[in-house]
Amino acid sequence: MSAAYPHLLAPLDLGFTRLKNRVLMGSMHTGLEEADGGAARLAAFYAERARGQAGLMVTGGFAPNPAGRLGLAEEKLEAGSGEGHALITRAVHAAGGKILLQILHAGRYAQHADLVAPSAVKAPINKFTPRALTPAEIERTLDDFADCAATAREAGYDGVEIMGSEGYLITQFVTPRTNLRADDWGGSFENRIRFPIEVVRRTRRKVGRDFIIMYRTSLLDLVEGGTTWDETVRLAKAVEAAGADIINTGIGWHEARVPTIAHMVPRGAFTWTTQRLKAEIGVPLVTSNRINNPEQGEMLIAEGHADMVSMARPFLADPEFVRKAAEDRADEINTCIACNQACLDHIFTGRVATCMVNPRACREDEFDASPAAAPKRLAVVGAGPGGLAYATFAAERGHAVTLFEASDRIGGQFNMAMAIPGKEDYGETIRYYRRRIELMNIDLRLNTSATAADLLAGGYDEVVLATGVTPRRPGIDGIDHAKAVSYVDVLLGRVTVGDRVAIVGAGGIGFDVAEFLTHAEGPGDPAAPDIDAFLEDWGVDPALADGGGLRADGPQMTSARQIYLLQRKTTRLGAGLGKSTGWAIRAALQLKGVEMIGGVDYRRIDDDGLTIAVDGVERLLPVDNVVICAGQESLRDLYDDLVAGGMTVHLIGGADKAAELDAERAIDQAARLAAAA
């Protein structure tokens, strides 16, 4: 057992049961809840995390009754369907873990027509308007919460988490923003918190004393008309008195316009809220949001921010997070980089969640990690995310791997991503692969441009080309002018950019470059984030003067440069960005005054700047530089010669398809190829 994390790894005694450490795997909806055979796959998913030593886990949210369903898809694994859940609990217990069922009533966030809420107030992020619950329906809903908890107990769960944050039904009762009732369930604060208190009280009465009730409360609503700090404290105390064993915490309603878990949120950006609540309550308190490494978890508990830390996505990225920390192998943890690309963005587009840096997540049965029957000698060319994933997966299966990289470092495009302020954590993926290369004894050859002749003469059984991409040079008049620079040179610090800049191309990289150029300084140290600056930027008031925790004068962002972001398409700029992060990326640039122009016809780059035309009307953008972010073309020069030489060659990542250059696809493709090698 590691001596490095004595607080994080200390057991937590709840009286009737004991948790093996202070790490909570927070609730995540995976999409397996609705999938055919989902219960068995969820059982495998949770069991793997239990074997990885998670102290306590929480399932995705299950509705206590049909009206409370989120309604994103048909639920096959309903809260009441005991046998499917028993599969999960048996697998978790066999692996030595503990698991809670989360009970979530969506209220006005439900994506179906039969939605209900305290009052008929439509959510700004939902097309459906809820119907106000009658007093009799409120009573029934309270009993449904308690009955659901009893069913969870019968199915073998160790307890339940009652979802009272993020803007779902319970929070809708608590705030006057959504509770306009004039009866005993609305009006005064005492009336508005009757619903959560009754949920906890009736649940406790139904399940008995020796069953964990964790209540997740909202510490910062981040919406106008949200709860005040005084009310938040009073609610937490009341919930404790009603019978909760643990208080978990949530930040921000889903309709809030402040990012709470995306990459631009610094690590531990909101733990000051639990630190403030901790002295007020007696039961263990859990802190959450952008916690992704054991050092940080240890510090948060040691310094009194909370009694437990909740991490959800970090357990998608690495099921063995806790075990590695406990065995002094924290440098082997595959860190969640908060990209949201394969987890939340999958869920929001109707796909099963997984993880960009760990494609096995939620697909544990699809990747053969067993030793290869016939080990081969494999050459991998290119040490970007795809090449790294292939090399390390293949070496893990017993193949002898030589990894060639033309530059002096591994990481490929991630070296550029980590240069963007807010994306510093991408460097953790490079650290993870660097360590795996050492552990797997991969023959890494940096500064080596492998030639086809070398590869053909090297005695390899197969070659994997992960040679990536080269930036596209569009045929704009004046493209050779000194003002025109490539995004690669900008992000790698090879050129200095002036105060007025036009960006040609508004894909993921155009947006990244715009964000980069709005900052006077480069990326910071992710382990020592400037949380105050983040809160100020997004208009969060750390003094919590008003309900909801927002500043009256709003976000306070400025840009270091005057920036134009351009594309030829007439569609909304950034339409292709991830669903869960795109809105925040766009909002930040808009708040910083970046001018976004679509439908652009590029005319020329010259000493005066960049001349464009929109709807046939010419306009000179008097810029010092034009940064070209016009996509990429595949680099696969070696392919034909290798095939002609009789070599078995595989193309992966950007070398395979530049049009869809995407680390998620590259890593997934690499892992599947390695599983089949």
Nearest distance in Å: CB 428, ligand SF4 = 9
Nearer to ligand NAP, 301 or 337 (CB): 337
Residue 336 is a binding residue for ligand SF4 (CB under 6 A):
yes
Residues within window 337-366 making contact with ligand SF4, judged by CB under 6 A: 337-343, 355-357
At what angle are helices 38-51 and 82-94 packed, to 10 degrees?
20
Answer with the entry of ligand SF4, ligand NAP, none that 299 interacts with (C-beta below 5 to 8 A by kind). none
Closer Cβ to ligand SF4, 25 or 355, answer by number: 355
Instruction: For residues 584 and 264, give the distance between their C-alpha atoms in angstroms, rounded to a whole number.
Output: 9
CB of 510 vs ligand NAP, minimal distance in Å = 5
Adjacent-strand bridge partners of 633: 470
Q: How many Å apart are CA 548 and CA 560, to the nearest integer?
A: 30
Please report how close the Cβ of residue 485 comes to ligand NAP at its closest, in angstroms. Answer: 15
Query: Closest approach of Cβ 668 to ligand SF4, in Å?
Result: 11
Which residue number, 291 or 417, has a Cβ lying nearer to ligand NAP? 417
Tokens describing residue 167: 């803007």
Indicate the length of the chain as a whole number.
677
Span near ligand SF4 by CB under 6 A; candidates 75-83, 227-235, 311-319, 415-423? 311-319
| Partner touching 540 among ligand NAP, ligand SF4, none, CB below 5 to 8 Å by kind | none
- CB-CB neighbours of 299 under 10 Å: 18
CB 614 within 8 A of CB 566: no
Neighbours of 644 (CB within 10 A): 10
356 binds, among ligand SF4, ligand NAP, none (CB under 5 to 8 A by kind): ligand SF4
Q: Report in angstroms how near the CB of residue 200 gets to ligand NAP at its nearest.
A: 40
In the bound state with ligand NAP, the residue whose beta carbon lies nearer, of 428 and 512, is 512
Pick the closer one to ligand NAP by CB: 130 or 510: 510
Stretch that binds ligand SF4, among 11-19, 270-278, 335-343, 552-560 (CB under 6 A): 335-343
Task: Identify whether the C-beta of residue 376 lies closer than 8 Å to the C-beta of residue 461.
Answer: yes
Instruction: In whole angstroms, give the CA distance from residue 372 to residue 456.
Output: 23
Q: Compute the least distance from the CB of residue 364 to ligand SF4, in Å.
A: 15
**Strand, coil or helix: 380:** strand
Q: Which stretch binds ligand SF4 (CB under 6 A): 330-338, 395-403, 506-514, 528-536?
A: 330-338
Q: How many chain residues are in contact with ligand SF4, going by CB under 6 A?
A: 14
306 binds, among ligand SF4, ligand NAP, none (CB under 5 to 8 A by kind): none
Residue 67 parent element (H or E): none
The separation between CA 129 and the C-alpha centre of its own chain, rounded to angstroms, equals 29
3 state SS of 443: strand
From the list ligand NAP, ligand SF4, none, partner contacted by residue 338 (C-beta under 5 to 8 A by kind): ligand SF4
602 is catalytic: no
Q: How many helices (H) and strands (E) does the chain have?
A: 22, 27
User: Least Å distance between CB 264 and ligand SF4?
Assistant: 12
For residue 294, give the nearest of 263, 315, 264, 269 by alpha carbon.
Answer: 315
Does 316 bind ligand SF4 (CB under 6 A)? Our answer is yes
Q: Which residues pair with 400 in a beta bridge?
A: 377
Q: Which residues bind ligand NAP (CB under 6 A)?
A: 472, 474, 504-510, 512, 567-569, 577-578, 629-632, 661-662
Residue 342 binding target from ligand SF4, ligand NAP, none, CB below 5 to 8 Å by type: ligand SF4
Q: What is the 3-state secondary structure (H, E, C) of 528-566?
A: CCCHHHHHHHCCECCCCCCCCCECCCCCCCCCCCEEEEE
Place of tokens 């992704």: 292
Q: Between 183 and 331, name the residue whose CB sits nearer to ligand SF4.
A: 331
The residue (of 184 and 618) whose beta carbon lies closer to ligand NAP is 618
Q: Which does 509 bind (CB under 5 to 8 A by kind): ligand NAP, ligand SF4, none?
A: ligand NAP
**Contacts of 402 by beta carbon, 8 Å cutoff, 6+ apart:** 377, 378, 379, 380, 442, 443, 445, 458, 460
Q: Which does 142 bind (CB under 5 to 8 A by kind): ligand NAP, ligand SF4, none?
A: none
Nearest to 526, CA basis, from 432, 426, 415, 434:
426
Q: Measured from the CB atom, is 423 or 650 closer to ligand SF4?
A: 423
Amino acid at 216: R
Residues 263, 337 contacting (CB under 8 angstroms) = yes
Q: Least distance in Å: CB of 398 to ligand NAP?
A: 32
* Cα–Cα dist 14/286, whole Å: 14
With tokens 């510090």, the residue in question is: 299
By a kind-dependent CB cut-off of 5 to 8 A, residue 64 interacts, out of ligand NAP, ligand SF4, none, with: none
Nearer to ligand NAP, 176 or 507 (CB): 507
CB of 341 to ligand SF4, least distance (A): 5
* DSSP, residue by residue, 122-190: --TT-SSPPEEPPHHHHHHHHHHHHHHHHHHHHTT-SEEEEEE-TTSHHHHHHSTTT----STTSSSHH
* Nearer residue to ligand NAP within complex by CB, 112 or 569: 569
DSSP string, 625-636: EEEE---EEE--
Among ligand SF4, ligand NAP, none, the one that 317 touches (CB under a kind-dependent 5 to 8 A) is: ligand SF4
User: Please, what is the minimum distance in Å from the beta carbon of residue 343 to ligand SF4?
Assistant: 3
Among residues 46, 157, 168, 432, the one annotated as catalytic is: 168
- Binding footprint of ligand SF4 on the chain (CB under 6 A): 313, 316-317, 336-343, 355-357
Active site residues: 168
